[in-house]
A = this chain, B = another copy of it.
Amino acid sequence: MKEIKAVLKDSEIPKQWYNISVDLPTPLNPPLHPGTGEPLTPDLLEPIFPMSLIEQEVSSERFIDIPEEVLEKLLIWRPTPLVRAYRLEKALNTPAKIYYKNEGVSPPGSHKPNTAVAQAYYNKKAGVKRITTETGAGQWGSALSFACSLFGLECKVYMVKISYDQKPYRRLMMNTWGAECVPSPSNDTEAGRKILKEFPDSPGSLGIAISEAVEDAVSRDDTKYSLGSVLNHVLLHQTIVGQEAMKQMELFGDYPDIIIGCAGGGSNFAGLAFPFARDKINGKDIKIIACEPTSCPTMTKGPFVYDFGDTAQLTPLLPMHSLGHDFVPPPIHAGGLRYHGMAPLISQLIIDGIIEPRAIPQLESFEAGIMWARTEGSIPAPETNHAIAAVIQEAKKAAEEKKEKVILINWSGHGIIDMAAYDAFFSGKLTDYALPEEQIKEALAKIDALPKPKMGK
């Protein structure tokens, strides 16, 4: 009987996060004030985030200690298993070795609580009583609700109305963890009321929900706002994934030639990839692939620019690959990958040639996910299917080239509350959404006038 998993004990959980910003070949361009266009000073973020998180956002420490109280909560599901996908390898008849880091074992079912728990902790420590956030498909909202329940914090989630109506299970998970979840636009904020007055039937959008959550946070002394991806401190908290994976690959006596993850805002991808990317920056030969949908090709077709994080232009300007803050992606089923921008850290590493983006068509992603379920057993989230499709591409290439490549993928979450997506696939209702170049052009036109970041090497 072969061992297929590398398991770490509780005591072996990594005790520090890895901050890649100090090792970047080109330093990050600073975020800019949305009004003045000047570099943002940390104090301007204080009404929104606790100071400890703002400090992490700009930290120049390579390793940052994970507080004891955060580790305690992470132990609920971490360290997560690293598993060799023998059955998939066999089905593909490939000499490649495929390993996956299973982040689907957390209570909300994805990697998201890695940062939710840390953010809830720092807010609690800063005396915050209540956290607001927005959520689209609901993964992030449920992860933050879970984390807040562990620290006894109130949590209010503004959920894009169309998802609120279509995905009742996610909302009910939030309720079960004690959070309040309202459809956005809501009557609870100025921003929401304004939209509702003009468009009573508005299906909502992430942009609107962000506006509501931020307005709520800044209007109350006891409340801060929390974001589930894109920002440096969020990616930082996810690096525990890659640090664990490094120890576990050692237990297998292997080191990856190829690292693969899906990227919407970029946090699960960064979490696995950054600790290995450090080795690549220091000279190691690794291919690091970030997968996005062809229908929302932020990294493969979006330029590296300064752009807003939201449609309403409320956030700071961030240096990132972007399709323009007005870009509305087609209604694909991987909701977590429908974002116009990409984390600045990942964007910069693409520019510097450390990370390689790849676009995956929707139908190929579902075919890959179903092959995974029928060989490795677990049903992947629609987002994760994009990474699996790239794994299959690389494993087939290894077979053609007769090379024993070692592939490592972040299996970012399970899909068992996304079965409607599989239903759409089985019943032939899904397409690849050929994206008109016009649509991208139009959205990009909106960011022409914004400041330009330095490109780096």
A109 at interface (Cβ–Cβ under 8 A)?
yes
Contact across chains for B71 and A176 when beta carbons are under 8 A apart: no
Which one, B3, B68, B71, B172, contacts A10 given CB within 8 A? Answer: B3
A377 at interface (Cβ–Cβ under 8 A)?
yes
18 contacting pairs across A/B (C-beta < 8 A): A1-B68, A4-B72, A4-B76, A7-B7, A7-B10, A107-B373, A107-B377, A107-B379, A109-B416, A168-B419, A173-B416, A175-B422, A176-B379, A177-B374, A177-B379, A416-B417, A417-B417, A417-B419
Contact across chains for A169 and B419 when beta carbons are under 8 A apart: yes
Which one, B77, B87, B172, B373, contacts A176 given CB within 8 A? Answer: B373
Residues of A within 8 A of B (CB): 1-5, 7-11, 68, 71-72, 75-77, 83, 87, 105, 107, 109, 146, 149-150, 168-169, 172-173, 175-178, 370, 373-374, 376-379, 416-417, 419-420, 422-423, 426
Residues of B within 8 A of A4 (CB): 10, 72, 75-76
Q: A4-B76, A177-B373 are known contacts; what are 6 more A-B pairs with Cβ within 8 Å?
A: A1-B72, A3-B75, A107-B377, A149-B374, A176-B370, A176-B422
Q: For the complex, give the distance between the alpha carbons of A53 and B143 in Å.
A: 43
Residues of B within 8 A of A423 (CB): 168, 172
Most buried by B among A107, A149, A150, A168: A107
Closest to A109 in B: B416
Nearest 9 CB-CB pairings of A with B: A3-B10, A172-B419, A169-B419, A107-B378, A107-B377, A149-B374, A76-B377, A176-B373, A4-B75
Contact across chains for B373 and A150 when beta carbons are under 8 A apart: no
Closest to A169 in B: B419
Contact across chains for B377 and A71 when beta carbons are under 8 A apart: no
Contact across chains for A175 and B426 when beta carbons are under 8 A apart: yes
Closest to A9 in B: B7
Q: For the complex, give the distance between the alpha carbons of A8 and B10 in Å.
A: 12
Q: For the complex, give the distance between the alpha carbons of A43 and B182 in Å.
A: 60
Which one, B1, B7, B77, B373, contacts A377 given CB within 8 A? Answer: B77
Closest to A72 in B: B1
Residues of B within 8 A of A168 (CB): 419-420, 423
Residues of B within 8 A of A175 (CB): 422, 426
Which one, B5, B77, B169, B379, contacts A173 given CB within 8 A? Answer: B379
Residues of B within 8 A of A11 (CB): 1, 3
